[in-house]
Amino acid sequence: MNDLITINDVARAAQVSTATVSLALNGNPCVKQQTRERIIRIAKELGYSPNRLAQGLARRKSGLIGLAVPDIESLYYGKIVRHIDEAAGQNGYQLTLAISNDNPETERKIIGKFIDQQVEGLIVAPINQPVQQVNYFQELVKTKIPCVFITAYYPQLKAPYVMADLQAGSCVLAEHLLSQGRRHLCFLSGCPEVITTQIRTAGLEEAVRKAAGRQAPKASLRIIACQRLDYAAGYEQACLLLKQNLPVDAIITINDEMALGALNAAISLGFDIPGQLAVAGYDNMIFSSAATVPITTVDQNIDLMCRQAVDMLMTMMKQSGQEANGHPSGIMLEPRLVIRRSTERP
């Protein structure tokens, strides 16, 4: 916030008005080619760059889009942030990030902060929480600030979203396991009130149901709701599970971190993977391919997801003010099953 070069300095140096400088620098064709070039040269010489606050105020556009994530200490959301940042930049927007640390109260405040900051649009990767508590999003949607949800959505909200088709992904994963002869699936899952958990569970159940007619013996699906969803949680929950000597021949987890934890737990308990037990993850994170036993997983195509979300947001921002064209839509991205050794036929 030091005494930087302003448009006035440039105008004085170039012997023109500030209006001309502004027009020249913004590529307005009314400015004579020769004048423009001189102004640009002088601006560069002086090291001028416009004050975004003033620019934003005058244009009534901040050039900012907000991204809210529940967590930043996981590869998954790290990837989200990176790709949204990249896509936003490519569209000439600066990202402003806020982290809710899985705290709904914080998430609510974040929305307010974004509005203060005059974001032109925002992308929310919502906390994975039971659906009831999100009335503050209602208000957000009412403010008419363009907003798209990513990685999850709230069914009652009628706000556009982009997410992986978790039902299809879970289903195709379970089908793969069943086709390999696994019969007793166990899902290390999250909170059952959370929408994405429900969707994943539905996918698994769908596969089991479909298989019921065709294959014997009958397949079973056990669901364990875990509090935390990280490596350590995967390790601990797998230990607890496997020590019970239940008939389990496949563990499915909610993400690759947990899968790696579960795999390592199983190995230290002396299980033969994949002979005795299959382990599958989700997200196709870098380390899943390099585990002691490479882990089967489902790729979400986060890159594409982020680009779609930003594209969608840009479209909404352009239409903003106009009548919304029909109902806000949602995009579900097709999953890609990545088969590795951890689920090979026993």
323, interface contact from DNA, a copy of itself, none, CB < 5-8 Å by kind? none
Measured from the CB atom, the residue of 126 and 203 that comes closer to a copy of itself is 126
Q: Which of 12, 20, 201, 255 binds DNA (CB under 7 A)?
A: 20
How far is Cα 280 from Cα 267, in angstroms, rounded to an integer? 14
Contact track, a copy of itself, 252-271, x by CB under 8 A: -----x--xx--xx-xx---
Q: Which of 4, 212, 240, 324 binds a copy of itself (CB under 8 A)?
A: 4
Q: Per rule CB under 8 A, is residue 6 in the interface with a copy of itself?
A: no
Least distance (Å) from a copy of itself to the CB of residue 21?
16
Q: Per rule CB under 8 A, is residue 292 in the interface with a copy of itself?
A: yes
Least distance (Å) from DNA to the CB of residue 87?
24
Question: Which stretches of 281-328 are assigned E, i.e. beta strand?
Answer: 297-299
Q: Per rule CB under 7 A, is residue 8 in the interface with DNA?
A: yes
Judged by CB under 7 A, how many residues of this single chain contact DNA?
28
Instruction: Give how far Cα 163 sits from Cα of 86, 150, 154, Å.
Output: 18, 6, 12
Measured from the CB atom, the residue of 79 and 340 that comes closer to a copy of itself is 79
Segment 52 to 81, residues that bind DNA, using CB under 7 A? 54-55, 57-60
Burial class (CB in 10 A: 0-12, 13-18, 19+), 109: middle
How far is Cα 143 from Cα 135, in angstroms, rounded to an integer? 13
Q: Per rule CB under 8 A, is residue 92 in the interface with a copy of itself?
A: no
Judged by CB under 8 A, how many residues of this single chain contact a copy of itself?
61
DSSP 3-state percent helix, strand, coil across the chain (nearest 5): 50, 15, 35
Q: Per rule CB under 7 A, is residue 319 in the interface with DNA?
A: no
Segment 30 to 49, residues that bind DNA, using CB under 7 A? 30-33, 35, 48
Instruction: Give how far Cα 306 sits from Cα of 114, 122, 209, 234, Å.
Output: 19, 12, 33, 27
Measured from the CB atom, the residue of 79 and 183 that comes closer to a copy of itself is 79
Burial class (CB in 10 A: 0-12, 13-18, 19+), 225: middle
177, interface contact from a copy of itself, DNA, none, CB < 5-8 Å by kind? none
Backbone φ and ψ for 221, nearest 5 degrees, come out as: -130, 120
Of 266, 302, 306, nearest to 282 by C-alpha is: 302
Instruction: Give how far Cα 342 sits from Cα of 45, 281, 292, 299, Å.
Output: 61, 10, 9, 16
H helices of 99-194, where?
104-116, 135-143, 166-179
How many alpha carbons lie under 13 Å from residue 288 in its C-beta half-sphere? 28
25, interface contact from a copy of itself, DNA, none, CB < 5-8 Å by kind? DNA
Burial class (CB in 10 A: 0-12, 13-18, 19+), 38: middle
Q: Per rule CB under 8 A, is residue 157 in the interface with a copy of itself?
A: no
Residue type, 127: I
Measured from the CB atom, the residue of 55 and 103 that comes closer to DNA is 55
How far is Cα 131 from Cα 18, in angstroms, rounded to an integer? 52
- Note the residues at the interface with DNA (CB under 7 A): 6-8, 15-23, 25-26, 30-33, 35, 48, 50-51, 54-55, 57-60
- Note the residues at the interface with a copy of itself (CB under 8 A): 1-2, 4, 49-54, 56-57, 60-62, 72-75, 77-79, 81-82, 85, 94-99, 101, 112-113, 115-118, 120, 143-145, 230-232, 235-236, 257, 260-261, 264-265, 267-268, 286-287, 289-293, 320
